[in-house]
Structure 1
Amino acid sequence: MSTSFKALIVEKSEDKQFSRHIGERTIDELPEGEILIKVQYSSLNYKDALSATGNPGVSRIFPHTPGIDAAGTVVESQSDAFKKGDEVIVTSYDLGMNTAGGLGQYIRVPQQWVLKRPQGLTAKEAMGFGTAGLTAALMISALQSNGVTPEKGPVLVTGATGGVGSIAVSILSKLGFNVTAATGKASAEDFLKRLGASEVINRETLLDNSRPMFKEHWAGVVDVVAGDTLANAIKSCQYNGVVTASGLVGAVDFTTSIFPFILRGVRLIGIDSVECSMDVRTQAWQALASDYKVETLESLVTEITLDQAESSLLAMLKGQSHGRIVVNMENS
């Protein structure tokens, strides 16, 4: 008899409505792959919320188990690169999109998706970072490798209460940067300052897209919003400023002038944490386990059980969450 386990299951009805429940799945139902993993912790991301509500841009195969992040232990391996008992992390690729994800107590995935959890990170800490932390690490690394240092001036983080934003604020602060956090949540100012933000501004101040350039201000930008927020940030960068972009919380496009690029040498760098190479993501995870590991991580994390995942995902869609939500899959 195949081993059964608990999972969040999203189902699509004949009238194209979507429902969610905690149910039983079996290992035999999992897709093919060289590595079978018992999941210890997962985490919730905006993409999981979209998958759980049937967004066709994320998931098209139902019934389905979301969860783009997972940390756990190898149970079976058909790969020489991994053995039973290895502590591993899987994030992004197709996990939790159309491949059964980390909101199930077991996953089976291709070996190319798996990396060994670096020393210095517990499974819970790894999921406290998750895809959001990986993305933040890639963005900050891009700023640093392009010459942005604390001495150059302030760094702007947009969408600062979200997963990527809150982790970016924490890491940049640890590295000595003067961080300005932009948010639409007035109640989050104390939270963001505890993470290390020097200044908290209302996101509305970044929506003015009326001029081709603004006064030079930011040495670097971590943007997950896009739209007019990204356009304004580009126009407000210092000479040789660097803008990293990874999200579309506010819009899927933006309009700006060419002037910041040709008169100030501003650089716009796109960040992808889904299909980036294993070498790149391994380096980022090593940084998260060492130089980028923050003392504020615990204050960023809310731990829940699998039974609480649905309500937390729906709250995330409504903008009613902040920081990181980690799901304890062993106590679910």
Structure 2
Amino acid sequence: MSEFKALLVSEEQGQFTRRVVLRRIDELPAGEVLIRVHWSSLNYKDALSASGNRGVTRHYPHTPGIDAAGVVEASAVPELVPGDEVIVTGYDLGMNTPGGFGQYIRVPAGWVLKRPAGLSLRESMVLGTAGLTAGLCIDKLQRAGLTAGAGPVLVTGATGGVGSIAVAMLAQQGHEVVAMTGKADQADFLRGLGASEVISREEMQSGTGKMLLAERWAAAVDTVGGDILFNVVKSLRYDASVACCGLTAGGQFQASVFPFILRSVNLLGVDSVEQPLVAKASMWDRLSLQWKTDLSRLEREITLDQLSDHIDTILAGSMTGRAVVNLG
């Protein structure tokens, strides 16, 4: 097979268009491993790439998709052989390298992980970058001292990919989870994932001008950034931590040193894109075994032809949970 289907984003007269096209394998960039993609997933970064955001993707036409799971078809390295089931997340996949919204990718061997034994290819893409990020956030919080029973753990942006998986994963591990969302109609969805309480975005935006707020959270996973993040920092309990991994509410916030020097709180940055492959492998093993979580409540399966509509949905802020893309 020399041709394959892919979502192609093109710039035409200053406007960005998306359509499913046929591409040739020999059009893919050089790389040590050719992978037939069976599953991908839709992330906010994919939607930015698919709408012409130059901070994510510099050159068009382009195929987004920062996640891919499939089978090795050709390899130039001995540790990966045809038939191996593998996953690729992050690095430059889907940003400036053709990504998982195509039925084939060709990438460096240093980006490729063999599928963890406890997950199917499809399950790995229900998690995808969102699940990997949620896992890294929880791991960092636990390394900073979070234990089950310590008190309420806040998750902001809780209906999104990272947020919804974090809610489910934390609840499964015995934490009291408070979910923050701007979607009041999704409270039952979040409680179904394990949240004991659902609060509004407006509540977390209150008190922006104050240096400190009442101590409330034993820990937090923040997926939105902006002033909401600083309100989270200001309302952490003494010596507590927040893991920061997103910026949908903004890349900047008004800050003061008071929470840090008076309450000894910690702001922990989390990146899943450039994590060393060995660190990714360790987290994927954990996600597939002791941290394996039932995510059936938050996932939906879509096809390549349905992908463009779902990109519009996520850009509009109306997406909940995870969309897993069937490229079969």
Q: TM-score range by the shorter chain?
A: over 0.9
Residue pair 2:67, 2:89 contacting (<8 A) in 1 also: yes
What's 2:284 paired with? Answer: 285
- Percent identity of equivalent pairs: 55
1: CA distance between counterparts of 2:171 and 2:150? 14
What's 2:231 paired with? Answer: 232
1: CA distance between counterparts of 2:11 and 2:304? 20
Whichever residue aligns with residue 76 of structure 1, its letter is A
Render the CA deviation track for 1:156-211: whole Å, top value 9, x for unaligned: 00000000000000000000000000001011000000000000000111112121
What's 1:243 paired with? Answer: 242
1: CA distance between counterparts of 2:55 and 2:210? 34
What's 2:114 paired with? Answer: 116
Question: Secondary structure at the residue paired with 1:201?
Answer: strand
Across the aligned residues of Structure 1 and Structure 2, the Cα RMSD in angstroms comes to 0.8
Q: Identify the match of residue 157 of structure 1 among 155, 158, 161.
A: 155
Residue pair 2:149, 2:174 contacting (<8 A) in 1 also: no
Question: Secondary structure at the residue paired with 1:61?
Answer: coil
Question: Secondary structure at the residue paired with 1:200?
Answer: strand
Render the CA deviation track for 1:55-80: whole Å, top value 9, x for unaligned: 11111221111100000000000012
1:252-267 → structure 2 map (5 Å cutoff) = 252-267=251-266
2: CA distance between counterparts of 1:300 and 1:80? 38
Question: Secondary structure at the residue paired with 2:241?
Answer: strand
Render the CA deviation track for 1:248-282: whole Å, top value 9, x for unaligned: 01001112221111111101110011101112111
What's 1:54 paired with? Answer: 52
Q: Which runs of 4+ in 1 moved over 4 A?
A: none
Which sits farther off after the overlay, 297-306 or 176-185?
Answer: 297-306
Shift of 1:130: 0.3
1:1-40 → structure 2 map (5 Å cutoff) = 3-13=2-12, 15-40=13-38
1: CA distance between counterparts of 2:150 and 2:175? 9
2: CA distance between counterparts of 1:289 and 1:243? 25
1: CA distance between counterparts of 2:159 and 2:204? 16
Residue pair 2:155, 2:180 contacting (<8 A) in 1 also: yes
1:153-302 → structure 2 map (5 Å cutoff) = 153-208=151-206, 209-295=208-294, 297-302=295-300
What's 1:316 paired with? Answer: 314
Question: Secondary structure at the residue paired with 1:299?
Answer: coil
What's 2:130 paired with? Answer: 132
1: CA distance between counterparts of 2:45 and 2:258? 34
Shift of 1:151: 2.1
Question: Secondary structure at the residue paired with 1:84?
Answer: coil
Whichever residue aligns with residue 256 of structure 1, its letter is A
Which sits farther off after the overlay, 125-134 or 273-282?
Answer: 273-282
Structure 1: gaps spanning 5 or more residues: none
